[in-house]
């Protein structure tokens, strides 16, 4: 289960709306969706939470590039919604670098990436690492994304299971968030 909500800061406080991410394919799409929630170019936060797995915060301030924080990159990489947030830039990779180095591949004639018998013996039967293994375990991104809104880097990094609710409480937006939960 996942939950995603938009929190838009207005002159009157925070306004919340739940959002479906089914039509969102890129971080740019998500930023555009956030900008639509605030015609006055105010701050908009996209809060995404995967139950017992990870959470993400995307902050969009007007036309500026979105700022992103993900609590656990490895867990998020196993989610289609997490993959939206885990851009090459956020992960410190060159665009298009999927982590596989063609020079390091063992092209020994086995089909479909099946290891030959020698490889299995050498690895004690362990499967080779997939793309998600290359993901950092733990947080990535801008941990100061909410600093000026009252959530310190240390507080953000210590949040776990109910992070979206904790963030909303710190922002004074828990009541409006509950209306869309």
What is the spatial distance between Cα 56 and Cα 73, in angstroms, rounded to a whole number? 10
pLDDT at site 20: 83
In this structure, what token pair is assigned to residue 53? 């797995």
What is the spatial distance between Cα 166 and Cα 20, in angstroms, rounded to a whole number? 21
What is the spatial distance between Cα 31 and Cα 51, in angstroms, rounded to a whole number? 23
What is the spatial distance between Cα 169 and Cα 40, in angstroms, rounded to a whole number? 24
Give the C-alpha distances (Å, rounded to integers) separating 127 from 90, 123, 124.
27, 8, 9
pLDDT at site 160: 77
In this structure, what token pair is assigned to residue 160? 């776990």
- Are 178 and 172 spatial neighbours (Cβ–Cβ below 8 Å)? no
The neighbouring-strand residues paired with 87 are none
Residues of the chain where predicted confidence (pLDDT) is lower than 50: 100-107, 109-114, 118-133
pLDDT at site 8: 94
pLDDT at site 131: 47
Q: How many CA atoms lie within 13 A of 86 on its CB side?
A: 27
pLDDT at site 137: 87
> CA angle, corner 82, sides to 80 and 87, nearest 5?
110
Element at 121 (helix H, strand E): helix 117-122
What is the spatial distance between Cα 21 and Cα 4, in angstroms, rounded to a whole number? 8
CB atoms within 10 A of CB 135: 21
């Amino acid at each position: 289960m996942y939950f995603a909500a938009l929190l838009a800061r207005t002159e009157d406080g925070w306004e919340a709306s739940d959002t479906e991410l089914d039509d969102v394919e890129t971080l740019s799409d998500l930023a555009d969706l956030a900008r639509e929630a605030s015609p006055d170019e105010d701050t908009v936060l996209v809060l995404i939470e995967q139950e017992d797995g990870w959470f993400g915060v995307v902050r969009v301030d007007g036309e500026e590039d979105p700022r992103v924080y993900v609590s656990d990159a490895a867990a998020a990489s196993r989610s289609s919604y997490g993959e939206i947030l885990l851009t090459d830039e956020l992960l410190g990779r060159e665009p298009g670098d999927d982590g596989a180095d063609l020079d390091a591949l063992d092209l020994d004639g086995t089909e479909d990436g099946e290891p030959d018998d020698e490889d299995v013996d050498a690895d004690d039967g362990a499967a080779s690492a997939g793309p998600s293994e290359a993901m950092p375990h733990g947080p990535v991104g801008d941990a100061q994304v909410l600093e000026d809104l009252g959530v310190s880097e240390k507080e953000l990094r210590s949040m776990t299971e109910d992070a979206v609710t904790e963030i909303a409480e710190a922002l004074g937006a828990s009541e409006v968030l509950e209306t869309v939960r």
